[in-house]
Structure 1
């Protein structure tokens, strides 16, 4: 919450000083600009990141994996064939545990790895203890398999609430969503996946795709998507690259 006060004249000086002292004492920040004093909270609730604000034509391709072993390989083949050196994979830890060879390939290709949680469930329905347990289980497994602790998380089904965001933030994670959803999980047809991504993409975009077995058309649409975005002048970077170089777009959670 922000408070705006316009203070003018000597009669309000005393009141202003009292108010300022009170706001500082209660943890609210004070900034002065000529005759207008603006008060901001010192702390904000953590938010999910959907995209970044940037003038650079950069986007992050992201892939969620929660089950199966037939689609990840072909997708990695496409990325390799296209010479795409940067992408971000969000791995479900049970999948990662049962497919260490594919995890190793992703690591060897030097792609960024984030957590997709442990159980593929809506964490907003969990108690706080259960939320912590699910995040920590995934953290432990992914750290062991990849040799690096993840610091990005995309929750199963994109589901979270304020508690989930707060707990993940306390555990050292940034919650990542997306601005462009390819809807590849619906298998709507290769052309529709291509059109949806290439028509909605924008600088600083986080693009959601999947590498689970249920998504049968992603590896066919991906080469064209990469070619068309490159033709539009886009550079592919990781989610962390986007965050490091730009202002993130965060949507409030009700």
Structure 2
């Protein structure tokens, strides 16, 4: 019995080592390729993507960087379903082109966040370029809305620790998401609905788009809102979600 145990253990040890090594290598590659977007240290900035204890509250967010066709229909859906709180992250170059749509969002009572100006991935830019982009976006959005944005969702959701520190220097909170509708892939109404309702839990930040590139968000959104309402979820501002909880975080290298 003892001899059999020793032989088996020797065979298992290399396999365990290989598995553990593969796991850490895979994790490192994910961090490098996707700029894992949640960072927290006791003294450093962090990106907010989910509330730990939100009492069945959710945050509804939309990114806009192109086109004019979807904004009004989506606002009408939110109005029809009595959604009082949502955040629209606007590319400031888009906002300059469509100031009347920016005004429509503001008049509906929704929060405006920055989605950058150039719509270029921040980790590919120098610190100076990122800072200039953030500043220009803040200035444009402030001029159009009368309020300086305090939230930013970097273009394509791509950022690293430098981005977080630069955002903090601009008094901007970086907002990511915990539930991705994948509406930008135009996978069909049913798929967008399942992407959201099958994954949503209390405290989640839901991410949609209102650019012209999305073709099925308007049809999926009423089903999603009705389903979440039936599950006793309500929508809160991101600021409310952040004030009620500590962000769940992982480190970005």
TM-score range, shorter chain: 0.7 to 0.9
- Divergent runs of 4+, >3 A: none
Q: Match for residue 235 of structure 2?
A: 236
- Number of residue pairs the alignment of both structures matches: 213
CA distances 1:201-248 after superposition (whole Å, capped 9, x unpaired): 011100010000001100100001000000000001121121122222
Q: Contact (CA 8 Å) 1:178, 1:206: kept in 2 or not?
A: yes
> Aligned equivalents of 1:55 and 1:147: distance in 2?
30
SS in 1 for 2:221: helix
CA distances 1:119-175 after superposition (whole Å, capped 9, x unpaired): 111111111111100000000000010110011000001011111110001110110
TM-score (norm 2): 0.82
Deviation at 1:117, TM superposition (A): 0.4
Spell out the pairing of 1:11-26 with structure 2 (5 A cutoff). none
SS in 1 for 2:198: helix
- Are 1:170 and 2:169 counterparts? yes
> Aligned equivalents of 1:154 and 1:49: distance in 2?
10
Distance 1:76 1:55, change over 3 A: closer
Deviation at 1:55, TM superposition (A): 4.7
Indicate the structure with greater strand content: 1
> Aligned equivalents of 1:171 and 1:251: distance in 2?
22
> Aligned equivalents of 1:55 and 1:146: distance in 2?
29
- Are 1:180 and 2:179 counterparts? yes
> Aligned equivalents of 1:151 and 1:92: distance in 2?
14
SS in 2 for 1:215: coil
Q: Match for residue 9 of structure 2?
A: none
SS in 1 for 2:148: coil
Deviation at 1:88, TM superposition (A): 0.6
SS in 1 for 2:73: helix
> Aligned equivalents of 2:241 and 2:103: distance in 1?
24
Q: Match for residue 206 of structure 2?
A: 207
Deviation at 1:45, TM superposition (A): 2.3
- Are 1:48 and 2:22 counterparts? no
Q: Contact (CA 8 Å) 1:47, 1:251: kept in 2 or not?
A: no
> Aligned equivalents of 2:205 and 2:250: distance in 1?
14
Q: Contact (CA 8 Å) 1:93, 1:138: kept in 2 or not?
A: yes
Which of structures 1 and 2 has the bigger CA Rg? 1
Spell out the pairing of 1:1-254 with structure 2 (5 A cutoff). 43-254=42-253
Gaps of 5+ in 2: 1-40
Indicate the structure with greater helix content: 2
TM-score (norm 1): 0.82
> Aligned equivalents of 1:187 and 1:51: distance in 2?
25
> Aligned equivalents of 2:192 and 2:250: distance in 1?
25
SS in 2 for 1:59: strand
Identify which range, 147-156 or 45-54, moves more after superposition. Answer: 45-54
> Aligned equivalents of 1:173 and 1:148: distance in 2?
13
SS in 1 for 2:239: helix
